[in-house]
Structure formats: structure tokens, C-alpha cells
Structure 1
Amino acid sequence: MLEDDIVHGLDDDLEIIINRLKGRSRDLEIVTISGMGGIGKTTLARKTYDHLAIRYHHFDILAWVTISQEFRVRNVLLEALRCISKQAVRVNAKDYDKMDDSELADLVQKNLNRRRYLVVVDDIWSTDVWDSIRGIFPDCNNKS
């Protein structure tokens, strides 16, 4: 099965998500895509993330973080910083190993602050995981 075959049935969902991300609300938006494994959630998120209007015209910074069942806050922070550092460099990536988790979280926040950003957090298996990383993402009142 080709990826386009999977997405064909999700075109309406893709349009809904893109319109929500481009919406008028200035508040931080959290869009959840949930359901059983194998229904195309990651594919839908990837199509949204790669959409031209989203990628090049609506957000200043984009990051993709995969959680999976082996959750470690540090890995999430490092993965986010790798994506962010390609677009807004404030610290050399070599310095990340010397930093503790709170310093990494602070760096993520500083790089996202005052910028319109989209962070896809893929493959979360529990709400506890989301609750533990939610505070990393600042609400800048700028449609992030």
C-alpha cells in the first residue's frame, strides 16, 4: 500500500487540521490526533507538517519529536533542540551533553519564545507523558 493511498481517505481530516492551525485564535493550540494503531495518525500528522502553507508561510519554527514507549524527557528535549537549532541557533549542539534537563528545557523555551512554532509530538502512549512535557512549550499568544 502506498502512503498516498492511506492519506486519500484522510483528506478531509487534513484540511480540518490545517484550517485549525491557521485559525484566528492567538492562544497556544493543542491539536490531538488519536485512535487505534495503524489508522494513519502519523501519516496525517506528517502531511500536515509538510504542507506548504504550514511549513513555509505560517510557522517560524517546526519541530518533530517522537516519544514511543521508551519515554525519556531528555531525549524529547534533545530531539526538539535538534529540529529547532536548524532554524534558530543559540547554543552549539555539542554543549547539549553538558547541560542538565532543566537547562535543556529552558533552552527549548527560549528558542520558541516569541516565535510562532509548530511542534509535532508523535507516538505518545499515555497522558502522563504529555503532562510531563506540556510545560516545555510556551504560550506566546502568537498562534503557536
Structure 2
Amino acid sequence: MLTVLVTDFLPRTYWKYIELNVKYSSVYRRYNENMPKFLKDRPRSVADHVMSRLTEAQCYEANDIVAKGNGMFHVKSQSHPCTQHNINFGESIIMPSCTCKDWAKHKLPCKHFCAVFNHVHEWGWEKLASNYR
């Protein structure tokens, strides 16, 4: 069993990993011109997830977002207007976070992060913790 694992399974899995990375690169295919630069060369599932959240975040206005300093923001909930979600861009070893269910389920930027991306231009994808990106 160990021989099969080392000689067959691990090499096959590694090459599949390499193949997928090549297929997701901008060298392999052209991206839609509407796709933000920060999503290019990312796995398709990540790009699709964030693109859908960017669309959802278009209904937010700048006054729905309150900066709390150090990459922390309060973003108004759309489903419960009296509630705010706390988002944190994280630091070098602290991972980003949001208090919404979407973040808890996927651990990918939710519409609250995307609202900040859209309205607070100095806080975009590149400001997320480097270990996370």
C-alpha cells in the first residue's frame, strides 16, 4: 500500500495540481476584460465566488461602511439593517475574517469585503493578509 501511495498516487496528484495551475494562468487562456486584475491567475472557483460577491456588493453605498482602523471595518447588513458585520483584513499571521455566514462557510471574500473593495479604494485585495492571499 505504501509503495502504491509513493509511486502512483502522490505523483499523479502532484501532476494534476500542476496541470490545474497551468490551466488557471493567464498564459493558458484569456480572461474576461471585466474581471478585476487581482482575480486573474486564481482558481476558477475563487474567481467565480468573488465575482458574484462583487456583483452583490454593488448595492452598498460608502456610508454603509465605517472604518475602525488597522484594517477593521463595520459594514451594514443588508438582511438586518440594524446589524453590522465586522470585517478584519488581517495582518501577516492573522487571517482575514468577517462575522457573516458566507465567510464562515467559504473563508473567501464575502460581499462585505467586496463593499470595502468598491468604496474604500486604499483597502483592496492586496491589503488582505499576505499569508491569506
TM-score, structure 2 as length reference: 0.25
Where is the strand percentage greater, Structure 1 or Structure 2? 2
Where is the helix percentage greater, Structure 1 or Structure 2? 1
**Bigger-Rg structure (1/2):** 2
